C-alpha cells in the first residue's frame, strides 16, 4: 500500500514558478528522499500535501484519502517538521509541547520526556532562551510526540550540529523500524544517501527522476582518479561515457558510465603511478544529472 500518492500535482503562483505535474508515491514503511536545490519546489509540494495550500490542479492522497477533503483526519496521524520553526517566545518548552500534544487526544508526556532526554533538550527553558539548534529540537519533538504513522520532514537538520544530526538520524531509523513511513526533503545529498531507500529529484518545479538510491549510485557510474607520469593531452580521455573530466598537474579525475574495460585498456597505454576506482557519491551523480538535463 502507498502511504502518499501524488498525481500531476500542480500549484501556480501567477507568473512566479510553483510546481508542475508532480507525480510520485511513497510506499508504506519506506524512507523516501525528496531532493533538489533550494527553490526547486520541495516545500510547495509538502505544503500542498499537508493542505496548508491548495493545488491548482492534480491530486494528492495520504493513507488513500484526499489531502484537502480529509485534512483534519489525516493530520492526527502525521508528524511534520517545517524547514523553519517559529514559536511563542514567552512559553516554556514543556508548556508548548503539552499544548501541541493536546491536539492528539492522548497522553504524550512520557514520550516528550524520552525524546527530550535523547536530544538533550531542557524542557524548563523559555523558547526565547533557546539557540537555533535547540528550537529545531523542539520542532523534532513536536513532530514525533504523538508517534505518527507518517513523518514529513522539510530540511530537518538545518541548525543541528553534526553530533545531534547523527542522533536525529538514529531517532528516525528507530521510528521507521517501529513502522513509521518517512518523507525526507533535503538539499543535502549525503543525508538522503545515508537515510533513504528511494529518492525523487526535483528541479525547477518538476520531477526529473524517481529512483532507488542503490540504482542511482550504481547505474554503472564509476569515479576514476589517475596519477600520471609525464604529460598527457586532455583529449586522450575524451571517451564516450566520460563526464566531469578534470586535469590538474599529474592528476586526472572523471566520472565514467559504461564498460569499465574500455577505460582500463586506454589507461594501459600510458605511464601511471596510481589509480583509484570508486563509487561516486550522490552529489556528483546528481550534479551530472542536472547538467545532462540542462
The rounded distance, in Å, linking the Cα atoms of 88 and 96 is 8
d(CA 83, CA 78): 16
The pLDDT value given to residue 172: 96
Would you state the CATH architecture of domain 219-278?
A: 2-Layer Sandwich (3.30)
For residue 19, list its beta bridge partners.
Answer: 11
What confidence tier does 52 reach under pLDDT thresholds 50, 70, 90?
A: very high
pLDDT, residue 21, reads: 95
Q: How confident is the model at residue 234 (pLDDT cuts 50, 70, 90)?
A: confident
pLDDT at 73 over 80: yes
Where are the alpha helices (H) located in 102-151, listed in sequence order?
A: 109-119, 132-144
The mean predicted confidence, pLDDT, of the chain is 90
Domains in the chain: boundaries:
2-216, 219-278
Query: What are the backbone dihedrals phi and psi of residue 158, each rounded to the nearest 5 degrees, phi first?
Result: -60, 130
Average pLDDT over residues 61-69: 96
Under the banding of pLDDT at 50, 70 and 90, the label for residue 291 is low
pLDDT band at 216 (very low <50, low <70, confident <90, very high): confident
Note the Cα 86 to chain centre separation in Å.
22
The C-alpha angle with vertex 54 and arms to 50 and 55, in degrees rounded to 5, equals: 105
Q: Which CATH architecture has domain 2-216?
A: 3-Layer(aba) Sandwich (3.40)
Per-residue DSSP letter, 197: S
The rounded percent of the chain whose pLDDT value lies above 70 is 95
What burial class does residue 233 get, using C-beta atoms within 10 Å of its C-beta: 0-12 exposed, 13-18 middle, 19+ buried?
A: exposed
- Of the chain, the percentage scoring pLDDT greater than 90 comes to 66
Quick one: 58 exposed, middle or buried, by C-beta within 10 A (0-12, 13-18, 19+)? middle
Q: Which of 197, 95, 101, 83 is nearest to 142 (CA)?
A: 101
CA–CA–CA angle 159, 285, 17 (5° rounding): 65
Amino acid at each position: 500500500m502507498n502511504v502518499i500518492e501524488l498525481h500531476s500535482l500542480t500549484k501556480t503562483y501567477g507568473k512566479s514558478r510553483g510546481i508542475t505535474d508532480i507525480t510520485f508515491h511513497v510506499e508504506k514503511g519506506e524512507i523516501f528522499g525528496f531532493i533538489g536545490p533550494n527553490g526547486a519546489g520541495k516545500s510547495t509540494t509538502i505544503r500542498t500535501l499537508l493542505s496548508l495550500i491548495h493545488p491548482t490542479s492534480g491530486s494528492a492522497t495520504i493513507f488513500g484519502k484526499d489531502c484537502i477533503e480529509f485534512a483534519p483526519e489525516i493530520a492526527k496521524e502525521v508528524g511534520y517538521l517545517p524547514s523553519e520553526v517559529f514559536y511563542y517566545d514567552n512559553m516554556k518548552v514543556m508548556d508548548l509541547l503539552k499544548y501541541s500534544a493536546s491536539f492528539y487526544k492522548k497522553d504524550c508526556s512520557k514520550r516528550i520526556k524520552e525524546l527530550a532526554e535523547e536530544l538533550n533538550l531542557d524542557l524548563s527553558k523559555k523558547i526565547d532562551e533557546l539557540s537555533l539548534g535547540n528550537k529545531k529540537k523542539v520542532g523534532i519533538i513536536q513532530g514525533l510526540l504523538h508517534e505518527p504513522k507518517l513523518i514529513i520532514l522539510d530540511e530537518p537538520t538545518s541548525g543541528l550540529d553534526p553530533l545531534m544530526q547523527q542522533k536525529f538520524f538514529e531517532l528516525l531509523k528507530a521510528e521507521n523500524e517501529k513502522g513509521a513511513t518517512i518523507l525526507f526533503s533535503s538539499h543535502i545529498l549525503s543525508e538522503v544517501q545515508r537515510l533513504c531507500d528511494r529518492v525523487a529529484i526535483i528541479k525547477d518545479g518538476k520531477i526529473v527522476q524517481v529512483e532507488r538510491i542503490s540504482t542511482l549510485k550504481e547505474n554503472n557510474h564509476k569515479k576514476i582518479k589517475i596519477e600520471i607520469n609525464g604529460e598527457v593531452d586532455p583529449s586522450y580521455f575524451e571517451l564516450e561515457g566520460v563526464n566531469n573530466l578534470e586535469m590538474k598537474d599529474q592528476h586526472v579525475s572523471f566520472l565514467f558510465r559504461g564498460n569499465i574495460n574500455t577505460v582500463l585498456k586506454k589507461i594501459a597505454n600510458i605511464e601511471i603511478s596510481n589509480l583509484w576506482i570508486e563509487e561516486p557519491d550522490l552529489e556528483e551523480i546528481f550534479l551530472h544529472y542536472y547538467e545532462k538535463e540542462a
